[in-house]
Structure 1
């Protein structure tokens, strides 16, 4: 029996795709850890990293804001959505037409939404926020200077030692390996199979940002799952509480880089417990034993996902 059949979780999930909003939420608290250099920016080469000035924590708001690196909403879900589409194609379940337009009756469209001019629209049921680095820019960002080599593999376009050397030097910012980001993905009015599908997309996606064929390796960890009948706290709130909760080396005002995974996970759980108390509504935090069982269910499903994905696709017929 699935762990999601427990009554404390099942009451926040739906049996089938809903015609109208039901106000049931599953909030996934995700820790994203870079395992290589990474570049998170908006568009185009040469652009600086995405960053925002925000308060460091909640205990000393009179202090000057700090800059945090940001992974924008679209840069997260777009990659995870493509992971899901790849899995659907493997099972001959189309999600795009010949022109690259989302098929309105596909699993991808029902979960992540679509908008096709006059052909209708479907709101995404995966609600996302920007992910923030826990530590400030000065700790997690570095700059690399590179040069543009000719085909000879040198700075000269000729083997002639008298040839003029190229002066093409360029610098680029990057996020250092072992940088941690926090993110909350809020899933609205979903079925158990849709939850497994979204979890699979998150846990199976491992490359984010620019130049992802060479850098951008990221490990995603589901830190907590919170079921509720309303949206919970924001990603930024959680990031600020976690920042305050992390240990320091006096007199350094910031936690040491890199953060320890187990220390961070404990800080996330404690901060989440504090933040959720003022929530007006019903909620259920999945315990660690049940969360481990849930992730194991996802792992089992994706060892042979053909039956699962076909069942999920069939569930929308007649919707």
Structure 2
């Protein structure tokens, strides 16, 4: 039996366009396992950074730069991961304006596939569905000065030199890139609003299966997402920035800065303590999934995604649950 059956009152039975005030907060530890570049690919710009307070201790006015993974860059990866499955099981529909399969960034969504109904869409001059996956920028635990390095790159010609063998002209493909070091950690909360059990399985599955973020992701950017907390509530909880600052305070103690790198279990324990402390600021009802229940959910998802028939059944059931699909058919 699914652990989600015990929390059905926090989920909706079927998609409903009206707000129901049922929130699910998913707490994610993003562990960078190779060099990564969190910037716009091909822009030549440095890494995304922001000046913020180091922690939240009373009287602490220390400002540091933290590396930022923008909200769009996170969800875009996870959304594409889900769309791969929908494409495999032929669950992406033909768009209403043209005889084409629903795809991202074309301003021509199908308006009825799982991706459109969960992550939202806006069709020019047509309908719209607000995303029910609420996200924010994710901040690095450590300061940028600690986790950012630089590396020079070049591109050799076929003769293994920097000069064109035919013209003798030097290569212009040389420069320096900033990168985030392996073992860096980012803390992130994704908040789901008014989702069903199958939608929750689909979204969390996309998060756990996504493994590369940032620019040049075909060669770097390997990241492991760990689900370290989940809470049901009737409102949003706290921000990514509050969470990372409070965790930073717990890890540094009386020291100026936590050591780097830190084992993920150490960070996980501090991050979970910070979650419970910050919960006291929330004006609303909050119910936490226990450690055993969270592990049971991850194991359940592992079984579903490992079995093509179970996965197909779940996705087909979810796809058929939307009113637009019931009305228009495939």
TM over 0.5: yes
Shift of 1:41: 0.8
Shift of 1:137: 0.4
CA contact (8 A) 1:85 1:95 kept: no
- Decide which of 267, 279, 282 is 1:279's aligned counterpart: 282
For the residues of structure 2 that align with 1:190 and 1:49, how far apart are their CA atoms? 34
Shift of 1:296: 0.8
Q: Which residue matches 1:307? A: 313
For the residues of structure 2 that align with 1:106 and 1:59, how far apart are their CA atoms? 46
For the residues of structure 1 that align with 2:131 and 2:115, how far apart are their CA atoms? 10
Gapped regions of structure 2 (runs ≥ 5): none
Relative to structure 1, is the Cα distance of residues 106 and 168 closer, same or farther in structure 2, using a 3 angstrom cutoff?
closer
Shift of 1:151: 2.4
CA contact (8 A) 1:55 1:61 kept: no
Shift of 1:165: 6.0
For the residues of structure 1 that align with 2:282 and 2:148, how far apart are their CA atoms? 35
Q: Which residue matches 1:5? A: 5
Q: Which residue matches 2:131? A: 124
Relative to structure 1, is the Cα distance of residues 152 and 229 closer, same or farther in structure 2, using a 3 angstrom cutoff?
same
> Does residue 157 of structure 1 match 2:164?
yes
- Decide which of 138, 151, 160 is 1:144's aligned counterpart: 151
For the residues of structure 1 that align with 2:56 and 2:183, how far apart are their CA atoms? 24
> Does residue 261 of structure 1 match 2:264?
yes
CA contact (8 A) 2:40 2:215 kept: no
> Does residue 188 of structure 1 match 2:198?
no
Gapped regions of structure 1 (runs ≥ 5): none
Q: How many residues align?
A: 313
Shift of 1:239: 0.3
> Does residue 223 of structure 1 match 2:228?
yes
CA contact (8 A) 2:121 2:129 kept: yes
For the residues of structure 2 that align with 1:206 and 1:95, how far apart are their CA atoms? 26
- Range 48-57 or range 141-150, more displaced: 141-150
> Which consecutive segments of 4 or more residues in structure 1 shift more than 6 A?
none
